[in-house]
Chain A
Amino acid sequence: MTTDSSGNGPGNGKDNDILLTMRGLRIEGQADEEWQEIVHGIDLDLRRGEVLGLIGESGAGKSTIGLAAMGYARPGCRISGGEILFNGIDLMAASEEEKRQLRGVRISYVAQSAAASFNPAHKLIDQFSETPVQHGVKPRSEAESDAKVLFRKLQLPYPDTIGNRYPHQVSGGQLQRAMTAMAMACHPDLIVFDEPTTALDVTTQIEVLAAIKDVVREFNTAAIYITHDLAVVAQMADRIMVLRWGDLIEEGTARDLLANPQDPYTRDLLAVRTFAKDHNGDEKAKTPLLAVEGVTASYGNSVRVLHDVSVSIHHSRTVAVVGESGSGKSTLARAITGLLPPEAGRVLYEGEPLPNALEGRDKEQLRRIQMIYQMPDTALNPRQRIREIIGRPLSFYFGLTGAEKENRIKELLTKIELDPDDFIDRFPGELSGGQKQRICIARALAAEPDLIICDEVTSALDQLVAEEILKLLQSLQDDVGVSYLFITHDLATVRAIADEIIVMLQGKVVEQGPKDEVLHPPHHEYTELLLSSVPEMDPDWLDGVLEKRRAANQ
């Protein structure tokens, strides 16, 4: 295997094929002034040009291990033991200055959120050129022409001039590709990709995945690809390591591991997307519970976000709204709740028009529509106990007090499968992400609503946890007959929970109907794009889709 930088390595004579070795890697994190081990002795080998996938849920230690490959520990973490050899250089023994000289040149990093990881104060080209110029690898002019070549290879629009833009002037998917270009600026031996597509829409994700795969292949760069999404890693990696709580669960070539998982945890991860609801609620017959008729809405006077949107939701049914970011999904929720009064159109509740603005609605109207948000962290007041959080709607809507209120809170906690006596006096900070989201659900249920609007409620959660939340929502629906308007960009979630699907694009509804109709051909062109962009476990899926699309374009 040849690379344009082989021969520099001091490892000549030894096994020249191995680029990175970790032995018994231990990393500690600081919590409450105490060091706790978060990675417990990981062994890892990476050959030149090989792509290794690290997969696991949050807290598995994936990013921490990825960064350790650069000899870097985040503030509040430290590498406490083991051995890291990169290209024959002992990173544990190397001085800060030696490591600094490796970073950016021989090993580089692509972060999860390009929008946050590009400095907002400087143009893309300046940030691209910075690494080669500061490390003295090549002069500025050469770096700039390199940038144009890489931008073109990564299929960025206007590759010759896009570098002159500031990060905020470029879309998320483009920024992620620009960051990959930046990581390639010095043609490193190894790139650490830390969830590079997690923040992107599926239709953008597929482009970025294809671009990354191409460049990594072309330059024969080794990569560590970190993700929580097995289907994504299946497309990218030659080999996969499954991690959980800082331990290695299972390791193998991508194909073997996917075809024949050994560990129950890996099987769980693979099985995640199998949940599907079996009942369909009431058939469409009577007046819908909620009908949105021809709603048009905009922020300020400038940007129109919803164009003539009509939607109806029946009793005990789940209507999923899907679309990319910016398609107006959340704005639809804001229009229904009255947070953003529509300019035109109306919202009917059981046939009766609701006042457009929140201020015009009475308590009873407010009670019947509740919301659950994407980020349970920010939706819960960190200084209130669970008792207060769930108790508030009880006293506000029903005037409950004392023992009556207490009993009802406990009843609700039981419903969301949390032990009432254990949880009632906790603060949100003492709960896990999934538990917090359960509290949000309980708070919405406390109002005994007919409709709950769920705005991306599972997208901040790990897959297994998200699955549990979906099951909970479904059993609550079976139990109390509540309807859901389920806003999501994740089609797997939609498949699992929806009765009806609404596909939105640029503020318009492009397709709507029962789940089976929408998910089966013939589709609207955009629905087709959306559906075909969802990664599948098959390692050949990405190449197959790209092949098909290329063929279709010709």
Chain B
Amino acid sequence: MAQLLTMVVQRLALGLLTLFVVSLIIFLGVELLPGDLAEAILGQAATPDTVAAFRKELKLDLPPHERYFDWLFGILQGDLGRSLANKREISELMGARLGNTLFLAALAAVIAVPLAVFLGILAALYRNSIFDRAINIVTLTSISFPEFFIAYILILFLAVNAGWFPSIANVSGELPFWERVYRCILPALTLTLVCVAHMMRMTRAAIINLLASPYIEMANLKGLKRARIIMRHALPNALAPIINVVVINLAYLVVGVVIVEVVFVYPGMGQLLVDSVSKRDIPVVQSSSLFFAVAYILLNLFADLMAIVTNPRLLHPR
């Protein structure tokens, strides 16, 4: 247990270091973008004087390193700063959208992860059968199409033709839970279709890999039932690789949903990021990117932790 704790602390410290590097990269990347907020708002017709005055007001005239450290110290004190475009607190701006993004990711994960693991186990059990091939073809097809294509197909069939679900995932704070779920179904389904194949194939591969091992033969020769052999003897040993790929996909669900959010006009972090980039609202871009980095780091830490917890060799050393 002590070993586990040391690892968590070490990894958190490393995570902070990573975050610092990421913040530098984000800042430099954003610096490289052509144009700034002043030009974007005032437009082509503005005189150089107005642009300069506006820049001064926004502190855009300061040298980059001063702006960077301003921003960094602000964050260290818990202050993300204000949006340049509308002067609102960034924390407030992100707050609601963060909730929306996490809600959508969670909804998609709740559908996708059990489905993928379940299908993967079935595919491993009935390896090379028609069922296995069918699952493989369907999931590989869905992963091969671009997300927006799947999104529009779903909208066409489930929203326009059948009329079962709304084509725009319009949510706000006061919606009751199930109403919220209902409105988010199409984006969640899109995300599910996109990430199930990866997780399912990994589950299948991890389990098939184990089915050739001597302890599975032993379980067979002990006369155990097939379902028990898979669930009790194969699955626990396949957890580490499965968890890893699940976490990669969870990270994708949090971080990579930009396109899906845009298609469904869903008020999440991805939308915010896209809007802010087009407006050159630098502080918001930086804060959103930093949040994505945090999500990645925490999820990977979680994956490593689970790999230890599910492996008795690491959890109970000799």
Contacts and interface: CB of A to CB of B under 8 A. Distances in A.
Interface string A267-309: 0000000000000000000000000000000000000000000
B87 interface: no
Contacts, number: 76
A257 B37 CA distance: 96
Given A119-B237, A130-B224, A109 B218 contact: yes
Contact of B218 (A75, A111, A135, A166): A111
Interface in B288-318: 310, 312-313, 316, 318
A377 B222 CA distance: 31
A134 B222 CA distance: 10
Interface in A77-108: 99-105, 108
B214 A134 contact: no
Contact of A166 (B223, B228, B232, B316): B316
Interface residues of A, number: 31
Contacts of B232: 122
Contacts of A105: 223
What size tier do the contact residues of chain B reach?
A: 20 to 34
A72 interface: yes
B313 A109 contact: no
A119 B219 contact: yes
B223 A103 contact: yes
A102 B220 CA distance: 11
Tell me the interface secondary structure of chain B in the complex.
Answer: helix
Contact of B318 (A108, A130, A168): A168
Interface in B58-87: none
A179 to B, nearest CB: 8
B114 interface: no
Interface string A431-468: 00000000000000000000000000000000000000
A168 B232 CA distance: 18
Interface string A50-76: 000000000000000001001010110
Interface in B240-278: none
Contacts of B221: 67, 70, 72, 103-104, 108-109
Contacts of B214: 111, 113, 116-117
Nearest to B236: A121
Contacts of A72: 220-221
B233 interface: yes
Interface string B193-223: 0000000000000000000111101111111
A67 B218 CA distance: 11
A226 to B, nearest CB: 14
A105 B313 CA distance: 30
A46 B90 CA distance: 82
A166 B215 contact: no
A104 B312 contact: no
Nearest to B310: A121
A234 B227 CA distance: 41
Given A104-B224, A120-B313, A131-B224, 17 more contacts: A67-B221, A72-B220, A100-B224, A103-B223, A105-B223, A109-B221, A111-B218, A116-B213, A117-B215, A120-B215, A120-B312, A121-B237, A131-B222, A134-B222, A135-B223, A168-B313, A169-B316
12 contacts: A72-B220, A109-B218, A116-B215, A117-B217, A118-B218, A119-B218, A120-B237, A122-B232, A134-B223, A134-B225, A166-B312, A169-B318
